Amino acid sequence: MSYTNFTLDTDADGIALVTWDMPGRSMNVFTEEAMRELNAIVDTVAGDAAIKGAVITSGKDTFSGGADITMLQKMLTTFATEKDKDVEKATKALFDNAGTMTGLFRKLETSGKPWVSAINGTCMGGAFELSLACHGRVAADSDKVRMALPEVKIGIFPGAGGTQRVPRLTDQQQALQMLTSGQALSPQKAKSMGLIHEIAEPAKLVDTAKAMIRNGLKPVAPWDEKGFKLPGGQIYSPAGFNLWPPAIAILRRETYGNYPAAAAILKCVYEGLLVPFDTALRIEQRYFTEIMQTQEAAAMIRSLFVSLQELNKGARRPAGVPDTKFKKIGILGAGFMGAGIAYVTAKAGIPVVLLDRDMESAAKGKAHSDSLVSDQVKKGRAKPEEKDKLLSLITPTADYADLAGCDLVVEAVFEDSAVKKSATEQAEAVLKASAIFASNTSTIPISSLAKNSARPKNFIGIHFFSPVDRMMLVEIILGKKTGDKALATAIDFVRAIKKTPIVVNDTRGFYVNRCVLRYMSEAYKMLIEGVPAPMIENAAKAAGMPVGPLALTDETAIDLAQKIMKQTMRDLGDAAVDQKQMALINTMVDDHGRFGRKNGKGFYDYPAKPAKKKLWPGLKNLYPQLAAEKVDYEELQQRLLVTIALEAARVMEEGIVTDPREADVGSILAFGFAPFTGGALSYIDGIGAKAFVKIAKKLQKKYGAEFKAPKLLLDMAEKGETFYERFNPYSKGDVKQAA
């Protein structure tokens, strides 16, 4: 029998080699067809007396990325369509579909023939669950090999036996940590946990796997043998009593109950380890069916997998523009931002010219890269030779003539129009006519800066976030005259450095900063109202934000907030800034010298390590404090999310962002907007426009005009629309769902 996605070859010893190599794909994934074929292969191996066992490996550089997420989407779509007709029947169908992969892997595990998984590269999700169902597991000794069950990161959990096999192979504490965090494991870590048996040289991977079968590998999983004991002890044991109560408390502390999938993992493991294995798999299947019906799963799958993947593949890239192969990139300004951009560019293997006003400043910028990569080497995340290569790609200079031949120049000089004008003119004087010039400005409109350019069609904004090496989002800002080639080149660059691009039309603050400033502003209002600072920060975290608004202000600097407010007043008049908030910031900066983390004093105090930061006690003396019992804690959470979501809606109404995928993904990657909601617009869609407008009107009546719903939302509420219906990113048919 021939297969499309696999090949099956049996050697002289009777060992079958199953090679997974899907045509037309860069990575193997489980599709319905692939599972049907694997099912047939399991039957062939089990039914052929000449076959002693089987090794499964990949014909690609990676092993597999797991299940094709479109299968899950299809399941969800079918359920949504059918549940209104017969919810019990629809739920049963969802349950049966959820068990397909579970049943296939259990069939392999109990087939009576030994199976070994030879893991040659990335092995994620369902592919690692397949490997765990094999009787032996060998991983290549390579930095390219990473094993993980990362499903919790997109709102679901390992539902094909992962929650049952992992805690039967390793101790429950390590199992829970791995499953609830989605952490990736190196071969060494996986072996120390007992999740794989051997590590082999890449060239000897398959031979090592075959040797396990030749040496008498038993075709029985440990949990199917009589007398099996759990590693680390039973649930009801001293070890279990010490683990489970704190584990539940830690999960609550870390998630605030916002992630149903994470809670379901604990339930699956706890309940599953108390019963026989096949019953445990059924428990897992039931919880998986339940989680698949949650709003959180649907929103997170869409934004954090499908949309993210589409944007990373260049969904917003203009069609018909040839790809840019970067030979040389220039960075103007070797300060913190410029140095960070140089680092990520060199890390991508692209030569960089790092220019500043003198060689000393430029060399200092390169030293930033030296520091970052040296830290990676120290932690074992990079090799010394990788450090040498990266640093060799960065050329510090003070001479604009060295920019000759650059395909792209990114300007990251001081945020001053005159300084930027000079840098633009000097750079363009030596650049080739086809080169693209980008500004990393965070406050000055791109169309205004483009007036300094002799070729505004080639002028664009590429706005990075700090710190550049860790922040995954980049805003690409279109000026009024920016051409398709500039946009395509900018997207190509952002993709080359492995970051996610979103495309934004020109406006003050662009998209992300407009939303972030609303978040901070609402916190200032709360302080002025007398809400205790700890309640503000805790409410933000309970709402799903990774960092409280006061801590975030400290990170970006309170004196920067002061400068932005003053500049806004100069540009738009005093009424453009809440004067009570201006007074609060002036008090912090001018009266108390509290600039934020950078000087160790902000809304928080920053003592020397290892002591942790703590809120400045003086905050409670700035305004009369409300008694905690008089503060509506849930309303605080609501205010912080609603103010951001309203600004995102305004940005869509103004046409600053035109694609809801970019608004959602951008809000999560840039400032961590409650990921379980799927992003700022999905938050509104999840509540429903009509219900959201009702909430906004209530808050507007109580707290002011910033909660006024834009006309767009009022219209959507009247028509019962969602953002993904109103601004359907697939309506033109030019972007397909990710596979």
- The verdict on 46 and 136 lying in the same domain is yes
Residues 403 and 258 in one domain: no
**CA 584, CA 522: separation in Å to the nearest integer?**
13
Q: Are residues 542 and 397 in the same domain?
A: no
The number of distinct structural domains making up the chain is 3
Classify residue 174: in a domain, yes or no.
yes
Can you read off the two tokens belonging to residue 347?
Answer: 């890390």
Q: What is the pLDDT of residue 324?
A: 95
Task: Return the H-helix or E-strand segment holding 139.
Answer: strand 136-140
Rounded CA separation 80/487 (Å): 38
Instruction: Estimate the crossing angle of helix 633-653 against helix 711-719, to 10 degrees.
Output: 100
Separation of alpha carbons 478 and 483, rounded Å: 8
Three-class secondary structure assignment of 457-490: HHEEEEECCCCCCCCCEEEEEECCCCCHHHHHHH
Q: What is the CA radius of gyration of the chain?
A: 28
> Is the bond into 617 cis (omega within 30 degrees of 0)?
no
> Does 242 score more than 90 pLDDT?
yes
Pull the structure tokens for residue 77.
């779509």
| pLDDT tops 60 at residue 244 | yes
The pair of three-digit structure tokens given for residue 481, joined into one six-digit string: 């005259």
Residue 619 Cα to chain centre, angstroms: 34
CB 175 within 8 A of CB 167: yes
pLDDT of residue 738: 30
- For the record, the structure tokens of 162 come out as 């992962």
- Position 78 scores a pLDDT of 87
Q: Are residues 464 and 562 in the same domain?
A: no
Residues 668 and 679: their CA atoms lie apart, in Å, by 6
Residue 735 has pLDDT above 60, yes or no: no
Do 121 and 63 contact (CB within 8 A), yes or no? yes
Please write the tens of the pLDDT for every residue from 485-530.
999 999 999 999 999 999 999 988 899 999 999 999 999 999 999 9
What are residue 74's phi and psi, to 5 degrees?
-65, -40
The pLDDT of residue 123 is 98
Residue 40 predicted with pLDDT over 90: yes
Residues whose CB is less than 8 angstroms from the CB of residue 607 and which lie 6 or more positions away in sequence, other chains included: 600, 613, 614
Compute the distance between CA of residue 11 and CA of residue 591 in angstroms, rounded to an integer. 81
Residues 500 and 520 both lie in one domain = no
pLDDT at 734 over 50: no
- Of 508, 531, 560, the residue at which a domain comes to its end is 508
Q: Distance between terminal CA atoms of the chain?
A: 27
Query: What 8-state DSSP symbol labels residue 281?
Result: H
Average pLDDT, rounded, for the chain: 95
E strand or H helix that includes residue 255 = helix 238-255
Residue 592 is a catalytic residue: no
Residues 500 and 527 grouped into a single domain: no
Element at 597 (helix H, strand E) = none
Query: Strand locations in 317-472, DSSP E?
Result: 329-332, 352-355, 394-397, 408-411, 436-439, 459-463
The reply to whether 162 and 195 lie within a common domain is yes
Residue 503 lies in a domain: yes
Q: For residue range 564-598, what is the model confidence (pLDDT) as tens digits?
A: 899 889 888 999 999 999 999 999 999 999 999 99
Q: What is the pLDDT of residues 314-323, one digit of tens each?
A: 999 999 999 9
Amino acid at 345: T
Q: How far apart are CA 739 and CA 737, in angstroms?
A: 6
Among 483, 508, 533, identify where a domain stops: 508
Residues 257 and 380 in one domain: no
Q: Is the pTM of this model over 0.95?
A: no
Spatial separation of the C-alpha atoms in residues 255 and 247, rounded to whole Å:
12
Which of 267, 293, 319 terminates a domain? The answer is 293
Cβ atoms 476, 460 nearer than 8 A: yes
Coil, helix or strand at residue 288:
helix
Q: Which of 135, 368, 463, 592 is catalytic?
A: 463
**For position 380, what pLDDT does the model report?**
85
Q: Name the nearest CA neighbour of 722 among 673, 642, 652, 675.
A: 652
Per-residue pLDDT tens digits for 114-140: 999 999 999 999 999 999 999 999 999
Query: What span, in angstroms and rounded, lies between the C-alpha atoms of 55 and 73?
Result: 31
Q: With pLDDT > 90 as the criterion, what percentage of the chain qualifies?
A: 91
Residues near 335 by Cβ (< 8 Å), separated by ≥ 6?
A: 356, 365, 412, 413, 414
Tell me the residue range of the domain where 92 lies. Answer: 6-293
What per-residue confidence (pLDDT) applies to 732?
Answer: 59
Question: What are the tokens at 171?
Answer: 């101790």
Q: Region 70-87: what's the mean pLDDT? A: 86
Q: Which of 421, 398, 386 is nearest to 331 (CA)?
A: 398
Where are any strands of DSSP class E within 356-509?
Answer: 394-397, 408-411, 436-439, 459-463, 473-478, 500-505
* 736, pLDDT greater than 90: no
- Kindly state whether residue 312 falls inside one of the protein's structural domains: no
Cross-sheet strand order for the sheet of 352-355: 394-397, 352-355, 329-332, 408-411, 436-439, 459-463, 473-478, 500-505
Say if residue 348 is in the same domain as residue 249: no
| 325: exposed, middle or buried (Cβ count in 10 Å: 0-12, 13-18, 19+) | exposed
Encoded tokens for 53? 């066992």
CA gap 248, 246 in Å, rounded: 5
What is the band of 680 on the pLDDT scale with cuts at 50, 70, 90? very high
**Within-domain flag for 244:** yes
What pLDDT shows up at residue 488? 97
Q: For residue 721, give Cα distances in angstroms to 1, 266, 331, 441, 680.
A: 50, 37, 44, 35, 16
Residue 305 CA to residue 653 CA, distance in Å, equals 26
Residues 556 and 502 in one domain: no
311 assigned to some structural domain? no
DSSP-based three-state secondary structure for 713: helix
Asked if 651 and 657 touch (Cβ cutoff 8 Å), the reply is: yes
Let me know whether 54 and 112 are in one domain.
Answer: yes
Could you tell me which residues come within 8 angstroms of residue 523 by beta carbon, excluding any fewer than 6 positions away? 536, 540, 548, 549, 550, 553, 640
Crossing angle for the helix pair 359-378 and 384-392, to the nearest 10 degrees: 160
- Decide if 618 is inside a domain: yes
pLDDT tens-digit series, residues 720-732: 999 999 999 987 5
CA angle (44 as vertex; 41, 50 as ends), nearest 5: 130
Output the domain CATH number for residue 221: 3.90.226.10
pLDDT at position 323, please? 95
Please check whether residue 731 lies inside any domain of the structure: no
| Residue corresponding to tokens 């060239």 | 203
Q: Comparing 473 with 1, which gets the higher pLDDT?
A: 473
Residue 191 within a domain: yes
Return the amino acid letter for 577: V
Q: Kindly state the percentage of the chain with pLDDT values over 70.
A: 99
Q: What value, to the nearest 5°, has the Cα angle with vertex 100 and ends 96 and 104?
A: 145
How many CB atoms sit inside 10 A of residue 226's CB? Answer: 4
CATH number of residue 722's parent domain: 1.10.1040.50
Q: What is the mean pLDDT of residues 387-402?
A: 97
Q: 555 and 460 in one domain? A: no
Q: What is the DSSP string of 183-250?
A: --B-HHHHHHTTS-SEEE-GGGHHHHHHHHHHTT--SS-GGGSTT---TT--SSSHHHHHHHHHHHHH
CATH number for 439: 3.40.50.720
> What gap in Å lies between CA 418 and CA 439, rounded to an integer?
13
Burial degree of 471 (CB within 10 A; 0-12, 13-18, 19+)? middle
Q: Give yes or no for residue 424 having a pLDDT over 80.
A: yes
- Residue for token pair 């897992």: 284
